[in-house]
Chain A
Amino acid sequence: MVASANTRLRLEAAHLTALFGQHRAVRDVSLLFPAHVVTAIIGPSGCGKSTLLRCLNRMHELTPGASVQGDVLLDNVNIYADDVSPIELRRRIGMVFQRPTPFPTMSISDNVAAGLRVNGRQKSSDVDDAVARALQQAALWDEVKDRLHTSALALSGGQQQRLCIARAVAPQPEILLLDEPTASLDPAGTQRIEELCHALKRLYTIVIVTHNMQQAARVSDYTAFMYLGSLIEVGKTNELFTKPKVEQTEAYITGRFG
């Protein structure tokens, strides 16, 4: 394993295989996600990178016909063990999707608080503080602090995505999963999100899936390259992009396929 020894282990996939019916979308992947670093998963469309990500918070199993073999360890506890509640797990692992998914009937503030409300934290002063903190972390506070109670739909796409990040970090998860978070954003919005990745890794362990290699190179400390469901290579980002060890990785990052 490439992960350096001086970071505390947080999350690890061990011989993980994810299936849709009989189709193996992720094949026997073992991968360590060290704490407080950004790990990027790259690879061409359909390589299983998003499916792998969705196995890490047990979202994969919500798809009808989907199943998982192997383990995912969070602090050495297998999250697929019988006594682990996926609901509790997802409260410890925040997730942001490709397209912004604000709740259209809720205000900006209620959107951010939505994750807290399902956590059963009700005291309104607590919630207000948490909303403000989350919006500050998502670098959205200055833009929305005067209109917290207006509709979230009035925000631009980039702002909506940062709102979703705020919603994901509001319950103070330990891990943040980003599934191509900039796929639907313009360059300015993309840059804001990438800057956020840098800022947030101090607080959270971040796993980001992207099909954009430049983005992986810009934001991540470690990069894993997947192809056809298998993990081909993982390493420190600057090493993987400059001195790839595997032929396929080199072919992909130099643009010969993908």
Chain B
Amino acid sequence: MTSLPIESPPRPPRLTRPRPQSLHATDRSDRIYRSVLTGFALGLPLLILIILGVLFTGALPALKRFGPTFLWTSTWDPVAEVYGAAPMIFGTLASSLLALLIAVPLALSVAVFLTEFSPGWLRQPVAFLVELLAAIPSVVYGTWGIFVLIPFLRAHVVPPLKAVLGWTPFLQGVFYGNSLLAGGVILAIMIVPYIAAVSREVLLAVPASQREAALAMGATRWEAVRSAVLPYGRAGLIGAVILGLGRALGETMAVTMLIGNRHDIGVSLLQPAYTMAAAIANEFSEATTNLYQSALFEVGLILFVLTVTVNAIARVLIWRVARGQAVGSRAL
């Protein structure tokens, strides 16, 4: 053991002293480490472009053959090699919107309860359990949907709905189980945890001063939430909802199991429908001709562009609140 020098060693003569290394010059292992990490970091965004490229190339034959009519024609005939994706696009949007209609009030209520009204001891357990819903595998939701949800809908939901709103076009026909309604409800349950979790973060990001300002003027808790907290977080809450929409649009397994997979456009919630994700999952293995495969690629391309756009919008909105810039939400 050598003891630490207490006095500094004698200074070398000035001229012979080596120039100090620049602070940026690092040694070799650091350089390698950095270039590997840089590669990974740039590789992932690159992956998105590669996927987009593959989808586009794959879809090219269908794009050339059908052009934009692919989006609004309804024939899907592998034998005659005529493809139109309108029913899937419709089914995707309809099931997702139905899911939002059910999930948004539920998820916002959970988020408002957890941030504003819940006693402290209840907050973490409930938040944890709600978020755990997102961890259940999609196929389990599908199975649960077939054995529990559909019988429940048939016994307890559809009869009263038909009794009250049976005259509307949305509830025509006989409810056999697999339907737009079943698909929408299962989607709603699946996206509630996402919307609730993000909304909760957004509400927590609303400054306490806004709540206090409302409470100090004699607002009740609920009035403070309605007049100060929710408006302040508006952009982020819309972002949370759109994020849920993004999840719903792309969700595949559970919806495939419940929606009925019928290539048809109908407004009745009780009838089967089809989604883009379900079509790709169901039909890729049997797409034997080039054009059939290409049509499915094009469906994938549409779904990709739709979900990426929706998610990008959602993240920008949420990011604005988290940065305390919800002020711009007036623009919405």
Contact = CB atoms under 8 A, between A and B. Distances in A.
A91 B220 CA distance: 11
B280 to A, nearest CB: 41
Nearest to A101: B213
A57 B219 CA distance: 13
Contacts of A115: 217-218
A90 B213 CA distance: 11
Interface string B169-206: 00000000000000000000000000000000000000
Interface in A132-161: 151, 153
Nearest to A64: B120
Contact of B217 (A62, A64, A106, A118): A118
A99 B216 contact: no
B332 to A, nearest CB: 10
Contacts of B223: 118
A61 B99 CA distance: 40
A164 B213 contact: yes
A103 B217 contact: no
B209 A171 contact: no
A114 interface: yes
A36 to B, nearest CB: 21
A27 interface: no
Size category of the B interface is 20 to 34
A16 B231 CA distance: 37
A167 interface: yes
Contacts of B217: 90-91, 94-95, 114-115, 118, 167-168, 171
A90 B231 contact: no
Contacts of B143: none
A119 interface: yes
A105 B220 CA distance: 19
B148 interface: no
Contacts of B218: 87-91, 115, 118-119, 171
Nearest to A164: B213
Nearest to A102: B213
B219 A118 contact: yes
B210 A151 contact: no
B138 interface: no
Nearest to B326: A104
Interface string B44-55: 000000000000
A62 B221 CA distance: 11
A8 interface: no
Interface of A: 57, 59, 62, 64, 87-91, 94-95, 97, 99, 101, 103-106, 114-115, 117-119, 151, 153, 164, 167-168, 171
Given A59-B212, A91-B218, 17 more contacts: A59-B215, A64-B120, A87-B219, A90-B215, A95-B216, A97-B209, A97-B213, A97-B216, A101-B212, A103-B227, A104-B326, A105-B330, A114-B217, A118-B217, A118-B220, A119-B218, A167-B217
Which 5 A-B residue pairings sit nearest by Cβ, starting from the closest?
A: A91-B218, A101-B213, A105-B231, A115-B217, A95-B216
13 contacts: A62-B215, A87-B219, A90-B215, A90-B218, A97-B209, A97-B213, A103-B228, A104-B326, A105-B329, A114-B217, A115-B217, A164-B213, A168-B217
